[in-house]
Structure formats: structure tokens, C-alpha cells
A and B are shown apart, each in its own frame.
Chain A
Amino acid sequence: MEDHVAHDDEYSNEALRKLGARVRHLRRKKGMTQRELSFDGCSYSYLARIEAGDRRPSPRVLMEIARRLGVAAEELSGETSTEQRSRSLELLDAAMMIRGGELDDAEELLRGVLREAEVNGDAQRMSEAYEGLGAVADERGDRAEAIGLLEQARDAGPPPDPAERVELFGRLFQLYRRSGDVARALALLQDCLAQLRREPVTDATKVVRYAVWLSRAYTEAGDPARAADVLGSALADGGNQVDLRSRAAAQYELSRRLAAAGEVEHALRSADRALSLYELDEDNRALSEAHLAYAQRLLDMGDAEAGRHLAAARNLLGAHPSPTDHGRILVEDARQALLLGDTATAAQRAAHAVRALGEGDGAHLGDAHLVLARVQDELGEVERADAAYAAAIEAIRGQDASGRDLARAYRWYGKFLKRIGRAEAALEAFELAADLAPSNQDALAPAEARSSTTA
């Protein structure tokens, strides 16, 4: 008869899940199958349930699993020594500092952790320190440095498990795609998903999370069919409208207070909850982003089905979306209305989008002005369209360091000017569109003359 104790209240689902993940991780590290690790009192099917976080093993079973895996039972159960707890707190602190924008302090802390880990030959901790440093570099906008550090995090020690290192893979994916390396971004996610699916018991939440990212990447690469395949059931799920970000911030505040009062165990628990809530919030945001990206692509193809995805994107952001998120959806609402020939609604939504995005940090404001310009153009409101194009260019000029979006805006402005017979202005706009397009930078000019031709 199997010696086990059924799932009880003392042990939270989260603790059981983590215990299961640790057993699975250590078993794999030793190259053992579940059958090889099983023993009298713990069949392989029971082991599979422990690994899935469905069962809590008795202390005797836990000790035997630990012995067979060559680790201390405490390590398996997650009970940590004071020293280990303070180490975990260091990394948690660094993660929170990064979220709070205290980048210099976070970097200093992480450099210390890295040095110590290198001295101790602790590959896992080195990987986590590199990950933190990569996040710092990313927050500072140093994309190449961030990619390098995160790749070091991935390559230090045994290959990280995508189920356990979602932050690492998620950030690396975003960095690849933002730097234009679509192929690498897709390959990374495909590998993560394949690895998750190879697990005997798959972690559905993590699969959904990676699938959402992958689907978005396919959508952006212009392949909505593959995006839809990947997304599958993920898009059918509803969204949690609770303001998760505020709850996460509250938990973090609580953890700081508890830590200051010397309540390390409770502080850790609160910090852990805060991070889980942030993750949940990011899941919803990512899902919303996927719907938005999908809607954008459908609109590009003239498919009015986009409306359903815009509604889903809005729902997932909850009752209080940021002005930027709200504005971005309004931009697409306006495009949708334009597609359906409802120019009055399109004009109204585009104007609202301009207002909403103007209240935010100004990002995407140019998109809103561009849509407004197109609507006015459609309505034959030449002066208004002209003003909106000019506003779009003005807004994009402040945000677009690469010149890519600005070039696109000038191209559309040039076509408008040409249509209304302002040939000279159209010539200027087209020349700027041609000059600013990054793919036109062939540097076929002497070095000193280059700046004047591309300015």
C-alpha cells in the first residue's frame, strides 16, 4: 500500500506545485525516469501526481525520494536555512528594486550576488544574477547588453526549465522581437513550448502563456493563420478583470514591512505572492496584447472580424486600463469603423484615441493622429487631414529614434499631398520617407556628406 497523506489544508496548492516542480527538476537532472525513481510505497503514477502538485507525500516518502535524488529532504520540501532565506531575499529585493526603477541599487546588489555565486560555483544563482542584470540593462534601454546577459543566464549551468524561468524566457523573447530578430524570437518560444509539452504532466498555465507570446509573434510576422493555430484554446479563455497590479503592489509593501520587522518567513511569502500577482497581471496583459495584435493584422487585411478581438483585448485590461492601453484600442476601433464605412464613428474614436494617448506618456500618439488623418482624408476634410498628418509626424518624431515609423508616416503624407496636387510638398515628404527608411541606409556617400543626405 502506498504510504502517503492526502492533500491537506496546511499545504497550499502553490507549495505543492513547487514541491512537484523541484522533484521533477532534480529527477531530470539525474537523468532518471519516473519509473526509475519509484519505489515500494511510491508508484510511478503516484510520483507523477506529486510532480503535478496534486498530492502531498508523507515525510517518509519525501525522505526516500530525497535520498534517491541525492539531496537533503529540506531542499526538496523547500524548507530553507536562514542563510538560504537571506539569499532568496536578496534576489527578490533586486527584482522589486527593478520594478520600482531603483536600477543602480539593483545592479549593485546583483553584481555582489554574481561574485559570490562565481566564487561558490553556484550555477543556478549565477544564472539568476545574470537574469537580474539583464533586466536592469533592459530597463535602461541597452538592448544588446540585455540580450547578452540574458543569454548568459540561459547558458550558465544546466538548461533552465521554461516552466520555472518564465521571466527569463519572456524577457529574452521580447528583446529579440524588439531588436527585429523575429526568427530568434520564434525559435526561442517554439523550443520552450516543445520542452513544456515533453513533460509527462504539462503545466497548462505556462503553455498558455508561451502560446500567447508565440501567437503574437506569428501575428506580427504576418502569419495570422499560424497565430490562430497556436493560440487555440488560449484565446477562448475569459479575462480576470481584477486590478492585479494594485494587489501586487500592496503585497510587496507588506513584505517590506514584515522584513523590516524581522518576520523573514512571512515577508518571503508576501513577496512571493506579489510576484505571482504580477505574473498573473502580465498574463492578462499579454493576452490582451495578443488580441490587439491579431485585430491589427485582421484590419490590415480588411477583415471586420477584428471587432471581436478588440472587445476581448479591452475586457482583459479590466475596468481601469491605462490611458495608453485604452488609446491603442481606440485607434483600432477607429480603423475598424473606417473599414465598415462608418466615418462618423471612426472620426469620433480617433479623436478619443488622440485624447487618451495624449494623457499617457505620449507613446503611440502618432498612430492615433495618423488614423485621424486618414479618416479626415476619407471625409474630404483636406485641411483637417493635413493638420492631423502634421501632428502625427510631430508626435512620432519625438519617439522614433530609428526613423522607421517616421519614414512610414512621411510616405503616407506624401501620397496625400500628391493626391491633393501639392507636388512640391509631396516631393519633400517622399524624399524624407526615402531618406529615413532604415533599409535605405546604404551609406553610399562620403562619410562627411552622409549626415546631410539622411538628416
Chain B
Amino acid sequence: MLDPDSPFDAPTPAERVESAEVQIGLERLDEAEEELFVALRGAEAAKDAATAARAQEGLGSIAVRRGNTAAAIDWFERVIETGARPDPAERIELYRNLAQAYSETGRSEPAIALLEQCRAEVARAPDADPATLVLYSIYLSHAYGDAGDYGRAAAALADALRGDVEEIDRRVRAFAYHALARLYCTTGHTAQALVYADKQVELTEASGNDWHAANAHLVRAHILLDDAQTGPAREALETTRRFYGDRMSSLDEGWVVVEEARLALQSGDPDGAVDLARQAIELLGTQSAPGELGDAYLVLARGYDELGRAERAGPAYTSAIDALRKQNGWHCELGRAYRWYGKFLRRAGRAEAAMEAFERAADLAPSNLAVLELPDL
């Protein structure tokens, strides 16, 4: 018979961490947090540095999910600074999360330095895994992009295109193509962006993972809409929905509906665009995806503007700008929003405010800053 007070029944700190990790995946953050604090205390008492580090990392992940970036940075830094520094080849997620948290708080410099250091350490290892190297290159390019340094963002991604990494796994290659498609779309190089979006689609379809394929088609649809290719964009969005099937979260659906709203606007259907944009806003909520939410508000504003409903368009434009300002690194989208807002203000006779909006649009446009368009020799 089992003794109810037996110490064997109490989970060890390591077991608690494992259980908490599962709960984080299920978004049961409060329970996970409680479990992790107990595990951390237990691990510290037992001088089990490895388990303590995992508990701290878990607490950082919870802080990220709650949008508490400062706390997340604090936890992740503790993991790195206490005890032996974790190996970047083995703890990719930890370093990626910390760098992303730095970027989100506008601290591009430490984000870039951290990722450069990780990449260099991985590259120095005699048996360096090319896929890990490419992943760090992609994260580094994100960090440079967030800092508005699009030239270096592209340079970092060159690692993903080297002939000797052709053999890296499909998932990582697709991720690299996604990063390239987004980068070139952001800087106004839609032709190049489409080249990589097509490659991403090809790889994800071949992988048989419908959810990833749906995401790839969605990126392609976004670029096609930027390029004003309305017909192909419509087809790409239909394909997106087909691949998602019934596996769409409300966030996924919100992203699809934003693009459908853009399509409606581009097809000369502002009423439809307004309806879809409102649906998207509802689906996206207010916290998780400020960038996409900003896009949705922008379509809403444009739709109202087209319909001559200035009293609704004005607040929608300012909501779009507010949301986009919260999304780190979306200089391009913010610039676009200011451009449309400037036109709205100008029509409303508010010349001075319009000038400010246009100036911001011109200042934020990556193609006005980047060094990606190069002259002939």
C-alpha cells in the first residue's frame, strides 16, 4: 500500500518544469507559473542549476505570452548570466526569445549583438549544423529589419542561399524563403519577393503540411496584392483557405480576412472591404497581433474613405496608426498608413497635418532609406 506522505509522490523540480512546459503549450499560464516558481525554489535549494535555468526560461516564456517583455528579458538574462552559459546550438529558442524581446523594447543593438555572437559560436564549431546556422541568420535578419537596416538584413540571409546549405531540411529552407519574401516585399521589391514566396509555396506543399502551405499561400497573396495583381491574389487566397481547411485559429482567420478585405478594396468593392475589415478586427482582438490589426483598421479607413464617410474614416486611420506603432519593425506598413492618412487630411483641408503625415510616410518608407536598389556598374 502506498504511503500518502511518501516523498516519492511529490514531483521533483525537474518534473514540475516538464509539467509547466506542457501547460504553457496549452496556454494555462497561471498554473504553469505557479508550478515554475515552486520548481525554481526547489532547484535552487538543491543547487540544481540546470533545472533552475529551465524554470527561469519557462517564466520568461510566460512573460512573453502575457506581453510583459521587460520581465521576459529579466528571466532570460538570468538564464544566460547564472551558471554556465547555455550552448547556442542547443538552446536556439532561448536566444531567439531574448533577442526578440530586446527588439520589441526597441533595443536593437543588444538583439543584434546577441544573435551575431550566437551565429559566430555556432559557425566556429567543427561540426556546425548548417540548419542551426541558417536559423540564426534568419533571426539576425529579423533583428536588422526591426532596426530598419534592410541591407544588413538581406546580407544576413545570404547564408540561407549558399550552395552548401541546399541540403538543410525543408522546414528551415521554407522559413528562410519566407524571411526573404517578407524582406523584399517590405522594401518594395515585389518581383523578388514573389520569387521567394513561390519557392516557399513549393517547399511547404511538398512537405505535406497543409497548415504551413496555407501560411505560404497567404504570404504570396499579400505580395500579389501589393503588386496590384488582383486576379492571382484572389486565387492565392482561395488556395489559402483550402489548405487551412478547418484548422484555422481565430488569429489565422483574422490574417486571411485582412487580405480578403484588401482584395475587396482593390476590386472596387469598398462596402465589402469595410465588412471584411470589421470581421478581421473582431477576429484579431486587441493584443496578439497589433500589426495585422493595424492593417485591418487601415483597410477599414480606406473603405470608409472611398464611401465618403469621413467621420468614420478619420478615427479608423488613427486606430490603424496607433496599432501599427505598437508592432515592432513594421516601418513599411506604418509609412503606408501615414501616406493614406495624409491624403485624407489633405482632402479635409488640414494642410499642416497632411504635410506632417506625408513627411512621416516619406521618412518611414524603407525604399527611401534602404540600400537595396543598386545602380548599374
Docked CA distance A364–B375 (Å): 9
Does A448 belong to the interface (CB within 8 Å)? yes
Q: A182-B154, A443-B228 are in contact. Are A433 and B362 (CB under 8 A)?
A: yes
Task: Pick out which of these stretches binds chain B: A185-193, A244-252, A268-276.
Answer: A185-193
The reply to whether A439 and B306 form a contact with Cβ atoms under 8 Å apart is no
Query: Which chain B residues numbered 54 to 80 have a C-beta less than 8 Å away from chain A?
Result: none
The reply to whether A180 and B187 form a contact with Cβ atoms under 8 Å apart is yes
Q: Which residues of A contact B355 (CB under 8 A)?
A: 418, 423, 426-427, 430
The reply to whether B335 and A437 form a contact with Cβ atoms under 8 Å apart is yes
Query: Which chain A residues numbered 180 to 235 have a C-beta less than 8 Å away from chain B?
Result: 180-187, 190-191, 194, 217-218, 220-223, 226
Chain A residue at smallest Cβ distance from B261? A444
Does A447 belong to the interface (CB within 8 Å)? yes
Chain B residue at smallest Cβ distance from A423? B355
Partner of A447, one of B159, B230, B365: B230
Does B371 belong to the interface (CB within 8 Å)? yes
Q: A220-B371, A285-B377, A418-B355 are in contact. Are A431 and B342 (CB under 8 A)?
A: yes
Docked CA distance A363–B270 (Å): 43
The reply to whether A448 and B268 form a contact with Cβ atoms under 8 Å apart is yes
The reply to whether B227 and A438 form a contact with Cβ atoms under 8 Å apart is no
Does A442 belong to the interface (CB within 8 Å)? yes
Does A165 belong to the interface (CB within 8 Å)? no
Docked CA distance A222–B152 (Å): 6
The reply to whether B151 and A286 form a contact with Cβ atoms under 8 Å apart is no
Query: Which chain B residues numbered 321 to 377 have a C-beta less than 8 Å away from chain A?
Result: 332, 335-336, 338-340, 342-343, 346, 351-352, 354-355, 358-359, 361-363, 365-368, 370-377
The reply to whether B262 and A444 form a contact with Cβ atoms under 8 Å apart is yes
Q: Which residues of A contact B164 (CB under 8 A)?
A: 191, 194
Q: Which residues of B contact A194 (CB under 8 A)?
A: 164
Q: A179-B189, A437-B362, A442-B226 are in contact. Are A220 and B151 (CB under 8 A)?
A: yes
Q: Which residues of B contact A222 (CB under 8 A)?
A: 149, 151-152, 155, 371
The reply to whether B359 and A440 form a contact with Cβ atoms under 8 Å apart is no
Docked CA distance A437–B360 (Å): 12
Docked CA distance A285–B377 (Å): 9
Partner of B372, one of A182, A285, A364, A407: A182
Does A414 belong to the interface (CB within 8 Å)? yes
The reply to whether A433 and B358 form a contact with Cβ atoms under 8 Å apart is yes
A53 CB, nearest partner CB in chain B, Å: 26
Q: Which residues of B contact A410 (CB under 8 A)?
A: 362
Does B158 belong to the interface (CB within 8 Å)? yes
B43 CB, nearest partner CB in chain A, Å: 42
The reply to whether A443 and B151 form a contact with Cβ atoms under 8 Å apart is no
Chain A residue at smallest Cβ distance from B338? A434
Q: Which residues of A contact B189 (CB under 8 A)?
A: 179-181, 438
Which of A179, A418, A427, A433 is most buried by chain B, counting CB atoms within 10 A of its CB?
Answer: A427
Over the window 419-453 of chain A, the binary record of Cβ atoms lying under 8 Å from chain B Cβ atoms (1 yes, 0 no) is: 00001101100110111011111111111101001
Q: A182-B154, A220-B151, A445-B265 are in contact. Are A187 and B363 (CB under 8 A)?
A: no
The reply to whether A404 and B151 form a contact with Cβ atoms under 8 Å apart is no
The reply to whether A437 and B368 form a contact with Cβ atoms under 8 Å apart is yes
Does B180 belong to the interface (CB within 8 Å)? yes
Does A289 belong to the interface (CB within 8 Å)? yes
A-B contact count (CB 8 A): 204
- Secondary structure class of chain A's binding surface, majority of residues: helix
Partner of A445, one of B154, B302, B342: B302
Does A352 belong to the interface (CB within 8 Å)? no
Docked CA distance A186–B374 (Å): 13
Q: A183-B157, A444-B262, A444-B299 are in contact. Are A178 and B374 (CB under 8 A)?
A: yes
Partner of B365, one of A289, A407, A427: A407
The reply to whether B155 and A439 form a contact with Cβ atoms under 8 Å apart is no
Over the window 168-183 of chain A, the binary record of Cβ atoms lying under 8 Å from chain B Cβ atoms (1 yes, 0 no) is: 0000001001111111
B149 CB, nearest partner CB in chain A, Å: 6
B211 CB, nearest partner CB in chain A, Å: 26
Docked CA distance A299–B21 (Å): 51
Over the window 126-160 of chain B, the binary record of Cβ atoms lying under 8 Å from chain A Cβ atoms (1 yes, 0 no) is: 00000000000000000000000101101101111
B316 CB, nearest partner CB in chain A, Å: 13
The reply to whether B362 and A434 form a contact with Cβ atoms under 8 Å apart is yes
Partner of A183, one of B149, B155, B343, B361: B155
Q: Which residues of A contact B359 (CB under 8 A)?
A: 414-415, 418, 426, 430
Does A335 belong to the interface (CB within 8 Å)? no
Does A411 belong to the interface (CB within 8 Å)? yes
Chain B residue at smallest Cβ distance from A183? B157
Docked CA distance A187–B265 (Å): 39
Does B161 belong to the interface (CB within 8 Å)? yes
Q: A180-B187, A223-B155, A427-B346 are in contact. Are A446 and B377 (CB under 8 A)?
A: no
Q: Which residues of B contact A424 (CB under 8 A)?
A: 351
The reply to whether A223 and B151 form a contact with Cβ atoms under 8 Å apart is yes
Docked CA distance A257–B186 (Å): 54
The reply to whether B155 and A182 form a contact with Cβ atoms under 8 Å apart is yes
The reply to whether B363 and A411 form a contact with Cβ atoms under 8 Å apart is yes
Chain B residue at smallest Cβ distance from A424? B351
Query: Which chain A residues numbered 264 to 300 have a C-beta less than 8 Å away from chain B?
Result: 285-286, 289
The reply to whether A411 and B373 form a contact with Cβ atoms under 8 Å apart is no
A449 CB, nearest partner CB in chain B, Å: 8
The reply to whether A407 and B158 form a contact with Cβ atoms under 8 Å apart is no
Docked CA distance A444–B343 (Å): 13
Docked CA distance A199–B270 (Å): 62
The reply to whether B268 and A180 form a contact with Cβ atoms under 8 Å apart is no
Q: Which residues of A contact B265 (CB under 8 A)?
A: 444-446
The reply to whether B377 and A443 form a contact with Cβ atoms under 8 Å apart is no
Q: Which residues of A contact B367 (CB under 8 A)?
A: 404, 407, 437-440
Q: Which residues of B contact A450 (CB under 8 A)?
A: 228
Docked CA distance A355–B211 (Å): 59
Docked CA distance A92–B340 (Å): 54
Does A25 belong to the interface (CB within 8 Å)? no
Q: Which residues of A contact B270 (CB under 8 A)?
A: 446
Does A22 belong to the interface (CB within 8 Å)? no
Partner of B191, one of A144, A289, A442: A144
The reply to whether A439 and B340 form a contact with Cβ atoms under 8 Å apart is no
Does A402 belong to the interface (CB within 8 Å)? yes
The reply to whether B371 and A221 form a contact with Cβ atoms under 8 Å apart is yes
Docked CA distance A182–B370 (Å): 11
Q: A191-B162, A194-B164, A408-B368 are in contact. Are A434 and B266 (CB under 8 A)?
A: no
The reply to whether A221 and B188 form a contact with Cβ atoms under 8 Å apart is no
Over the window 233-274 of chain B, the binary record of Cβ atoms lying under 8 Å from chain A Cβ atoms (1 yes, 0 no) is: 000000000000000000000000000001001111010000
A to B CB contacts below 8 Å, 18 in the list: A182-B151, A183-B157, A190-B162, A221-B154, A223-B152, A289-B377, A402-B373, A411-B368, A414-B362, A431-B354, A434-B335, A438-B189, A441-B226, A442-B262, A443-B228, A445-B302, A446-B270, A447-B230
- New A-B pairs, 18, CB < 8 Å, besides A218-B155, A440-B188: A144-B191, A174-B377, A181-B189, A185-B158, A186-B155, A187-B163, A286-B377, A433-B368, A434-B365, A437-B188, A437-B368, A438-B188, A439-B186, A442-B225, A443-B226, A444-B299, A445-B306, A448-B268
User: Which 8 pairs between the two chains have the least Cβ-Cβ distance?
Assistant: A438-B188, A430-B358, A439-B188, A186-B158, A434-B361, A433-B362, A187-B161, A437-B365
